[in-house]
Amino acid sequence: MKKALLTGIDGFTGKYVADLLLQQGYDVIGLVYKNPKQGEVACDLTDKSAVKKMLDLVKPQYIIHLAAISFVGHQDQSAFYNVNVFGALNLLEAAAELQLDLKKVILASSANIYGNPSNVEKITEEQPPSPVNHYAMSKLAMEYMAKLWFDKYPIVITRPFNYTGPKQATNFLIPKIVEHFKQSKNQIELGNIDVSRDFSDVRDIAACYVHLLDADIQSEIVNLCSGNVYSLSSIIEKMEQIAGYKIEVKVNPNFVRANEIKVLGGDNTKLFRLTGFKPTISLEQTLLDMYNEQT
């Protein structure tokens, strides 16, 4: 049985990826920071000696590295680099020191590394990076670090655009909007509403990871996206149709981020060329599933 180490298995994306890997016949070992459950190991990725002991115990053939500090508004800026850059480096260095025969390593970066490109409707992987916050800069630094390992391990770097779906925490934008409608609230406070994003369903994103793991590719950087851009106002309108009422939107200055990326839309042509995979779940279906989700 193919053994896969999945870091961040307890995160929003990790749970969906784990389920798909199990369905595909992988033996999945999840890595968490603390309080491991059955089939999981606990490890601090910023502690290289702990990482090496963990890898020596697990001896994976595949690694999907999702664990990261992913909330852009996180206050500890140094943590972005300690976790997002050195956590990935520790995995690669420890694997090399143990001489692990890794069949594929997938490292999750972010579409945030593109920043605010002007006059670009759909961003391809060729778009020059221009990060505007520490989260994005840490992910770009991770990418450059990982490229140094392309001749050692078969590595694929993913750049996921925004995605959402059932079970996402309500401190993220779309779940917050959906939750307000589920609770029949008449008003919602948001930050910048003049933004547009490429939103995918988390279940499609999980499928992307499994397709990339199975595909005979390496030394590639790949966008994970739907190829469709939605404005925040259009998403609210879709939720109003689902819930059957209109909501009042108030802009709270405390929620407005500096250096907000105005439009972020992705081109998934390369993903399809490499794997043959295209998204299957519409945003309307995603919102409906989130609205009907039992809490």
Active-site amino acid positions: 135
Cross-strand partners of 38: none
Place of tokens 């405390």: 254
In this structure, the strands spanning 104-108 and 62-65 are parallel
Distance, CA of 195 to CA of 85 (rounded, Å): 28
What is the rounded distance in angstroms from the CA atom of residue 236 to the CA atom of residue 164? 14
Instruction: Tell me which residue of 184, 177, 205, 192 sits closest to 281, measured CA to CA.
Output: 205
Give the Cα separation of 226 and 224 in Å (integer). Answer: 7
Render the burial of 5-33: b for 16+ CB within 10 Å, e for the rest: bbbbbbbbbbbbbbebbeeeebebbbbbe
CB-based burial label for 139 (10 Å; 0-12, 13-18, 19+): buried
For the beta carbon of residue 78, count every other beta carbon within 10 angstroms: 9
First to last CA, the chain: 35
